[in-house]
Amino acid sequence: MSARHSADRRLPSGRHGLSREDVVSSQRERIVDALFDAVTEKGYPATTIGDVVERAGISRRTFYEHYPSKEACFLAAFDGAVTHVGAQMNQVLGTVPKHDWRERTRQSWRAFLTALAANPAVTWSLYIETFSAGPALVERTSALNAGFADTFHRLHQHARRHDPTVPDLPRQVFDLYIGGTAERIRDCLHTRGAHALPELEDLFVDTIAALFGKPHDGWGTHAVRPAATHDN
């Protein structure tokens, strides 16, 4: 899930000894990186396939060998980024007991926000530009948010099994929670930039703790300071 400048990753000219699979993989990665860079700079509606192929250092014909359209490329890029972040989160959570809901919440958000901060072009594209990228991307985003809500709902159920004092909560509460965290992420991108996203960790964890009826004494002390600029 990185959007480095694709020109730095072009294959050497002439005979390079790479397999066809390596060539295809390199081309796809450069196309996706170039798309994220162009979308971050120009916005999705204004980005053209010409912008992508120029940044990727490929021909228009090569682009169409991989993707039938700009939208198809963005869908594939979206899915790839989500899969990458999901793998990072699963790796982290593999070491945290399922009943430890507070630590699982913290480690989930820490891995997620760290990944977003490390890839500002990808994050801007996924959180800001998807809403102008057509109904398929909006549907994909809604499905992703629903999946996150399901994850925290399951965490709540685990918490209730181990601690009956945790209040019963309807599934829709977690839709609201994920919607709220997504809005905080977008606000941070607009006002402070992707580098500040990890600072949202305490707020997101404290909110879950309050929902579970287990706020700590520091609740309410982790508000994120607004600023006037962003680095998209």
Query: Does the residue 220 lie in any domain?
Result: no
Query: Does the residue 231 lie in any domain?
Result: no
What domain count does the chain have? 2
Residues of the domain holding 43: 6-66
Q: Residues of the chain whose pLDDT is less than 70? A: 1-18, 216-232
* pLDDT at position 38: 94
**Do residues 78 and 91 both lie within one domain?**
yes
**Do residues 20 and 33 both lie within one domain?**
yes
Q: Rounded to whole angstroms, how far apart are CA atoms 126 and 144?
A: 11
**Is-above-0.95 flag for pTM?**
no
User: Which residues, 6 or more positions from 28, have their beta carbon under 8 angstroms from its beta carbon?
Assistant: 66
**Do residues 178 and 192 both lie within one domain?**
yes
* pLDDT at position 95: 83
**Do residues 92 and 160 both lie within one domain?**
yes
Query: Does the residue 227 lie in any domain?
Result: no
**Do residues 164 and 188 both lie within one domain?**
yes
**Do residues 50 and 130 both lie within one domain?**
no
Q: Rounded to whole angstroms, how far apart are CA atoms 5 and 232?
A: 15
Query: Does the residue 159 lie in any domain?
Result: yes
* pLDDT at position 4: 46
**Do residues 61 and 176 both lie within one domain?**
no
Q: Which of 66, 95, 111 is the last residue of a domain?
A: 66
CATH classification at residue 26: 1.10.10.60
* pLDDT at position 3: 47
Query: Does the residue 230 lie in any domain?
Result: no
* pLDDT at position 18: 65
99-111 burial string, b = 16+ CB within 10 Å, else e? eebbebbbbbbbb
**Do residues 54 and 110 both lie within one domain?**
no
